Amino acid sequence: MNTQVPAPAFDPKQFLRVEEFETAAYARMTKMASDYFRSGAWDEHTLRWNVEAWQAIRIFHRAMIDVSQRSTATTLLGSRSAFPFIIAPAALHKLACPEGELATARAASRRSVPLILSSLSSTGVEEVCRAAKDVDVWMQLYIGKERSHVLDLAARAQEAGCTALVLTVDAPVWGVRERDIRNGFCLPAEIEVVNLMRSGRAGDVHAAKGGLSGHSGAGIAEAFGWTIDASLSWKDLDWLVSKQSLPIMVKGICRSDDAERAVDAGARGVLVSNHGGRQLDGAPATADSLEAVADAVRDRACVIVDGGIRRGTDVLRALALGAHGASAARPILWGLGAGGEEGVHRVLELLQNEFDLAMALAGCASLSEITADLLVG
């Protein structure tokens, strides 16, 4: 007689806040995978500050405002979104769920939220663009040692249907994530970093497969060191702008002067980011960097912020500080790990519903009414 009790069906409605997905997701993953997603650099100060800085911002709500009719819809760098949010790039979604980025893309399409696909994704850009259907996909990339591969990937992304490129500039070298080193991080043999496969070149398939030629499990720096270049400089942004036609957003900005230089070089947007606290530990929380960057370039370029976004109120705070939109990766991975496509769908639903309610409670009937005076008593 079979006495095994079947596992209960995943019920996304049981989750009432985004952070409730975290425990459920990591319980389903291997320690290597969960530590890879949760880790920050060194002592993980910046990782913690990202969340704490949003929580510390008070919202001085307006009273007696008619908010019976509200709209959260917006456009970010030409991409329509149901609310001021775009899914941030994160590598290797298949470590969280076998369907990986396809499940994320399907959920994003159902919620009318665009997404940024990591160049280190475990699903090819072509498949992701097909799965996304009704929303735009932006392609994140690094400028590595082989500049020709950068242009190959940019052209491949454009052909697949991507509408923008997101150039990450805060990783001239990889930050030290001690959890990954202790765990001997390496990819399972069944997972491939398919966007890094460069057909026709010896050793290329090896470099993108779980085995990784010469990889001993010493962490992300060893696994993907060839994808970045310590000689990266502003002339490389000039070069990328001149060599392809997609609009470019520069990701990894925390200073107003760098934001101005990026826009002067032809970037159409900047993403205020510290790589989720995974690069320079001690970098400021993005909530602390945002206002100066937005003041410098928001009238000339799209400004988005990521890092520590956990509630719809954080999205409201981001707009009040001058951003056009917000972004997050870990909450999406938590939803994916806990419940696949339905988990991601619920995370996006919670964030949008919270943002809409926060608008009403703050006395804002439209996005244009989310202004800096909300943060001043």
Report the distance separating Cα 367 and Cα 251, nearest Å: 24
R_g of the chain computed on alpha carbons: 20
Contact 137, 106 (CB under 8 A): no
Contact 337, 343 (CB under 8 A): yes
Report the distance separating Cα 133 and Cα 3, nearest Å: 43
Report the distance separating Cα 312 and Cα 215, nearest Å: 41
Report the distance separating Cα 210 and Cα 194, nearest Å: 11
Q: Is 324 a catalytic residue?
A: no
| Eight-state DSSP code of residue 276 | G
Catalytic one of 215, 275, 324, 345: 275
How many Cα neighbours within 13 Å face the side chain of 344? 32
**What is the full DSSP assignment across 139-171?**
EEE---S-HHHHHHHHHHHHHHT--EEEEE-S-
Report the distance separating Cα 115 and Cα 275, nearest Å: 16
Q: Which residue has the tokens 């913690």?
A: 48
Report the distance separating Cα 138 and Cα 87, nearest Å: 10
**Beta bridge mates, 86:** 327
Contact 192, 52 (CB under 8 A): no
Long-range contacts of 26-30 (CB under 8 A, 24+ apart): 26/334, 26/337, 28/337, 28/338, 29/95, 29/96, 29/337
Active site residues: 275
